[in-house]
Structure 1
Amino acid sequence: MFELLLPFFLLVLILIVLPVIWKINARKYISSGTVASAYDAWTEDKLLERLWGEHIHLGFYPLGGVKIDFRKAKVQFVHELVKWSGLDKLPKGSRILDVGCGIGGSSRILAKYYGFNVTGITISPGQVKRARELTPVGLNCNFRVMDALDLKFEDGSFDGVWSVEAGAHMNDKTKFADEMLRILRPGGYLALADWNSRDLRKNPPSFFENLVLKQLLEQWVHPNFVSINEFVNILRTNKNSIGRVVSENWNSYTNPSWYDSIFEGIRRPFAILSLGPLSIIKSIREIPTILLMNWAFRKGLMEFGVYKCRG
């Protein structure tokens, strides 16, 4: 019964309740600057870090209902994508670029467990500062403020390129792919994961789905979503992509992350309370968007795309 009524409740939230709440502090994409400002704010208030740890991205959960800790699932996601993409075939000391590195969680795993020399970039100065603070001395990680659509590296500078959940913030997906493949050396590995919509041209969204998509775009500074097939075609048509582009939809592996990201607040209440009363309001504000994300991914309106190819 609850499953049948859920769309109705979501519609009421979207049309009546949420516009009032979200209008106070909307995060609509305007430019890369709005992305930087949003992530600076999230990093400064430390709420996401306290609740979710060093990884803002979703986790990987084994099929069959196997229980796994939320933070461990995030670490597991990194290892699964490394293995699936073939990045683990690169020798120690290989140069890896982490595009959209956040506060450096994935970069540190790539350096610590695989022996890579990792450069992480993000548009957010706050994230770079925090990533540097969290990185132990001697670990081969360095972090820089840089726009992913204008990478300040020579062609073929890296043996591997890694990017997780960054592409949804890019207003030019073709330029995003072009820049990553440009700085990837011939024979290098690209490993990428992102939030995608289903193919909306072949299967147009309903009125309700359009409302959901609008909120998912405007609340977390996303300019647009593309489908998995659309991004595969972008990669395939790039002149630097000479290898076969392979993609998969990892919805079934990652979907438990949405509820877990809310439950972390219940499991770790002092993580929120220790940051002061305002953090409670901030955490509650994110719950409706997380619930909409969960619904969209479960229903197939959104898809979690993973991609691999060779330079």
Structure 2
Amino acid sequence: MQWIFIFTFIGLILLILSVFWLRKSRKYESVNSVASSYDAWTNDRLLEKLWGEHIHLGFYEKPRLKKDFRKAKIDFVHELVHWSGLNKLPKGSRILDVGCGIGGSARILSNDYGFDVIGISISSEQIKRANELTTNKDYCRFEVMNALDLKFEKSTFDGVWSVEAGPHIFDKQKFADEMLRVLRPGGVLAIADWNQRDPSKYRFNFFEKFIMNQLLIQWTHPEFSSIEGFKNNLLNSPYCGSSVEAANWTKYTIQSWNESIYEGFRRPIPILKLGLRTFIKAFREIPTILMMRWAFSRGLMRFGVFKSRG
């Protein structure tokens, strides 16, 4: 009898959360809606308390590998640095981090590789927090800026870095053009993003369309590009100086979706200290995370990485 009550109670809570989740989306409207979403996520410290200073997926060399989620995120940065060839640039090279979050990747690029890094985000609260967390301000600094309107001259940077920013950007071609424009000839481009499967080859059925729509409206995404589509955006840019290489890293990153939920159970006290409202907000994200995990496991979504020489 006691177990029936417990399961009924849990079921009611999940039902209430599901209704709340379906009714209150974060649909993309403009760059301002992206900025507002990230301002809110930064101010409540929920993502930072859950996942640390890196708001991106982790890297797992083997399926079901036991690894601390926060370490996996750090490992991801180093893996992308080496895969892209960014590590071959000399110390002191100027690097632009597009969509820098609260600066986790930028600090690694500066502290571990000796680069002079500028991170940009559309969110003023992210930039404020990134500056608060950064001690090496001479070689790692942050500015509020729109990725589609970079306030830098052509060929300013030796390297351009962007992780999981593309889904929030409406004009994928302009996004590619701006990053390549500010990259000097011979510089290194390193990008990682969530991508949908190629819609020109595979149609989505009714259920898949529902899932993909929820993945857009729950986290302020205007649309997802495919790996093939964004590779073509880079190749078609007037600033593309050489070939572009892309790869699918889904098998190395998919475990992150499970781990992102487990972190809340591993570290519940910091979340509880944020208050009841934020605690409920943490549960609100679970359906979207589970749908992301399902979409990546079914091939609807893929984790694409891209590299090029300017």
In the other structure, the counterpart of 1:57 is: 56
Q: CA 1:139–1:291 in structure 2 vs 1: closer, same or farther (change >3 Å)?
A: farther
In the other structure, the counterpart of 2:11 is: none
Q: Would the aligned equivalents of 1:265 and 1:271 in 2 still touch at CA under 8 Å?
A: no
Counting only pairs closer than 5 Å after superposition, residues 103-182 of structure 1 correspond to structure 2 as 103-138=102-137, 140-182=139-181
**What is the alpha-carbon distance in structure 2 between the residues aligned to residue 142 and residue 161 of structure 1?**
15
Q: Would the aligned equivalents of 1:29 and 1:218 in 2 still touch at CA under 8 Å?
A: yes
In the other structure, the counterpart of 1:247 is: 246
Q: Would the aligned equivalents of 1:242 and 1:310 in 2 still touch at CA under 8 Å?
A: yes
Say whether residues 1:287 and 2:286 are aligned partners. yes
Q: Would the aligned equivalents of 1:192 and 1:307 in 2 still touch at CA under 8 Å?
A: yes
TM-score normalised by length of structure 1 = 0.93
**Which amino acid is 1:230 matched to?**
G
Equivalent residue of 2:24, what SS?
coil
- Give the superposition deviation at 1:110: 0.2
**Which amino acid is 1:302 matched to?**
M
Segment of structure 1 superposing worse, 40-49 or 58-67: 58-67
- Give the superposition deviation at 1:25: 3.2
**What is the alpha-carbon distance in structure 1 between the residues aligned to residue 257 and residue 50 of structure 2?**
13
Counting only pairs closer than 5 Å after superposition, residues 15-34 of structure 1 correspond to structure 2 as 20-22=19-21, 24-34=23-33
Equivalent residue of 2:160, what SS?
strand
1:242-286 Cα offsets, whole Å, 9 max, x none, are 211000000000000001000000000101101011111100000
**What is the alpha-carbon distance in structure 2 between the residues aligned to residue 211 and residue 19 of structure 1?**
15
**Which amino acid is 1:197 matched to?**
Q
**Which amino acid is 1:159 matched to?**
D
1:116-169 Cα offsets, whole Å, 9 max, x none, are 000000000000000000001456101000000000000000000000000000
Structure 1 gap ranges (5+): 1-15
In the other structure, the counterpart of 2:100 is: 101
**What is the alpha-carbon distance in structure 2 between the residues aligned to residue 158 and residue 80 of structure 1?**
21
**What is the alpha-carbon distance in structure 1 between the residues aligned to residue 65 and residue 26 of structure 2?**
35
**What is the alpha-carbon distance in structure 1 between the residues aligned to residue 161 and residue 182 of structure 2?**
12
**What is the alpha-carbon distance in structure 2 between the residues aligned to residue 244 and residue 18 of structure 1?**
47
**Which amino acid is 1:152 matched to?**
K
- Give the superposition deviation at 1:66: 2.6
In the other structure, the counterpart of 1:80 is: 79
Q: Would the aligned equivalents of 1:160 and 1:188 in 2 still touch at CA under 8 Å?
A: yes
Q: CA 1:51–1:244 in structure 2 vs 1: closer, same or farther (change >3 Å)?
A: same
**Which amino acid is 2:97 matched to?**
D
* RMSD (Å) for aligned C-alpha atoms: 1.3
**What is the alpha-carbon distance in structure 2 between the residues aligned to residue 17 and residue 142 of structure 1?**
43
**What is the alpha-carbon distance in structure 2 between the residues aligned to residue 61 and residue 310 of structure 1?**
26
Q: Would the aligned equivalents of 1:112 and 1:139 in 2 still touch at CA under 8 Å?
A: no
The count of aligned residue pairs is 296
Structure 2 gap ranges (5+): 1-14
In the other structure, the counterpart of 1:238 is: 237
Q: Would the aligned equivalents of 2:63 and 2:251 in 1 still touch at CA under 8 Å?
A: no
Q: CA 1:18–1:28 in structure 2 vs 1: closer, same or farther (change >3 Å)?
A: farther
Segment of structure 1 superposing worse, 62-71 or 86-95: 62-71
Q: Would the aligned equivalents of 2:122 and 2:144 in 1 still touch at CA under 8 Å?
A: yes
**Which amino acid is 2:59 matched to?**
F
Q: Would the aligned equivalents of 2:156 and 2:183 in 1 still touch at CA under 8 Å?
A: yes
- Give the superposition deviation at 1:33: 0.2
Q: Would the aligned equivalents of 1:195 and 1:302 in 2 still touch at CA under 8 Å?
A: yes
Moved over 6 A (4+): 16-19
Q: Would the aligned equivalents of 2:17 and 2:284 in 1 still touch at CA under 8 Å?
A: no
Q: CA 1:265–1:19 in structure 2 vs 1: closer, same or farther (change >3 Å)?
A: closer
Q: CA 1:246–1:18 in structure 2 vs 1: closer, same or farther (change >3 Å)?
A: farther
Question: Kindly, what percent of the aligned residue pairs are identical?
Answer: 62
Q: CA 1:138–1:182 in structure 2 vs 1: closer, same or farther (change >3 Å)?
A: closer
Q: Would the aligned equivalents of 1:108 and 1:139 in 2 still touch at CA under 8 Å?
A: no
Q: Would the aligned equivalents of 2:63 and 2:252 in 1 still touch at CA under 8 Å?
A: no
Counting only pairs closer than 5 Å after superposition, residues 258-277 of structure 1 correspond to structure 2 as 258-277=257-276
Say whether residues 1:191 and 2:195 are aligned partners. no
In the other structure, the counterpart of 2:12 is: none
**Which amino acid is 1:231 matched to?**
F
